[in-house]
Chains A and B, each alone.
Chain A
């Protein structure tokens, strides 16, 4: 498996359990690496809103409602909430919930050679 950019080994496989995360420094950039169970994602650890350490935030699910009083709760662990203002970001896309087109956090491809977790920056 190949991906563009420079490959940086950030962890060994098994180091980050499903639902877990590791925050690493890559050339002075702080990056959060998350294990979603079916694969890894990596996001810049800087909230596009005011620069908070986004990847230290709470992981939660996607909450929607078709009508008042009815709650649809899905994708547990895939929505990251910024520790400062609680804006939500989709781990799989880096897009914010409230303004997905304009407020997005940089995310990076992640691959594995079977032994290592590799972020491409």
Chain B
């Protein structure tokens, strides 16, 4: 097994399955919206920030046939599960139906996308798990979708980091109530959900800015979730921050704790240091990991001390994206066996309620 260690059920927490073409969703979409799509000539909702031919968008060999990288379940299975020995893969589909401004169209597209995931991915391999795609344009419709899907292979709710507004705001709370009730975490992944650009300050001109600045939007969303009291209102909720690095978190926690001491009267429901709230409720994928080029155990010790606990970290391959370099693997090499077991699979197994025993593997 590639990244695994003996006895560890490896969980790849960030795999991007792609819709091959818009019409693939038509069997799962109400006729009125099928014809609306056809008659208007809409081409599809592939996220604009991963052009398949651009550097870092897709690893070599991930594009097979005409579809975008990650659109063939057999190829994804071979690359993500069989080649690495991962026992589970959590699919986070970034097809940007949540960017639609029409709340009814968006909710219908999200519902169709989830049904397509159930039929074409979850049924294709028992090791696949999926995230529930929802639109924040209608949080009540999103909550209903979460209630319908959770369980049945769907282990998480997926939200775009560039949401229509700061994610802690109360208009979105139906989503968190539904996720907590269903026992599934809410993941936040870079992506555009309607009103706001990828960067907190406006649309960047270049892909390199999208990548280098990805953590900034996540920092804003995490700050909002804590300050608005989402974790006080929904103490069972867990939030997963995907594909945006980890090593920025200690500095945000230092700043957040310091300023909370002076300003906590604004947010009296934050009744303990924000860092404590974050450590209890938030996990992050280690891909990418923004670390020094020569990553040694002394650096890892310091980083883990600053972070507070290795239980916040989730292993991810980020397939088919290719912008994370070697730091995630270097981190795994430096971890103790017990730490490695947690990061590779133990934390995710607990978070997603995955069976401790392996799912049946398909016969080759």
Chain A residues in contact with chain B, CB under 8 A? 63-72, 85-88, 97-99
A72 / chain B contacts, CB cutoff of 8 Å: 268
- What secondary structure prevails in chain A residues at the interface with B? loop
B205 to chain A, nearest CB (A): 38
Chain B residues in contact with chain A, CB under 8 A? 170, 228-230, 232-233, 260-265, 268-269, 271, 273
Distance between Cα atoms of A63 and B266 in the complex (Å): 9
* Residue of B whose beta carbon sits closest to that of A98: B261
B55 to chain A, nearest CB (A): 43
Distance between Cα atoms of A72 and B251 in the complex (Å): 31
* Residue of A whose beta carbon sits closest to that of B268: A65
Contact B263 A86 (CB under 8 A): yes
Distance between Cα atoms of A85 and B229 in the complex (Å): 23
B265 / chain A contacts, CB cutoff of 8 Å: 63, 88
Contact A98 B229 (CB under 8 A): no
Residue of B229, B260, B261, B262 near A68 (CB, 8 A) is B229
* Contacts A65-B229, A65-B269, A66-B269 known; 10 new A-B pairs at CB < 8 A: A64-B268, A65-B232, A65-B271, A67-B269, A86-B262, A86-B263, A87-B261, A87-B262, A98-B264, A98-B273
What are 27 A-B pairs at a CB distance below 8 A? A63-B268, A64-B268, A65-B232, A65-B268, A65-B271, A67-B229, A67-B232, A67-B233, A67-B269, A68-B228, A68-B229, A68-B230, A68-B232, A68-B233, A68-B269, A69-B170, A69-B229, A69-B269, A70-B269, A71-B268, A85-B262, A86-B262, A87-B262, A97-B264, A98-B260, A98-B261, A99-B261
A66 / chain B contacts, CB cutoff of 8 Å: 269
Distance between Cα atoms of A70 and B170 in the complex (Å): 13
Distance between Cα atoms of A77 and B9 in the complex (Å): 57
* Residue of B whose beta carbon sits closest to that of A82: B262
B231 to chain A, nearest CB (A): 10
Distance between Cα atoms of A97 and B270 in the complex (Å): 12
B325 to chain A, nearest CB (A): 39
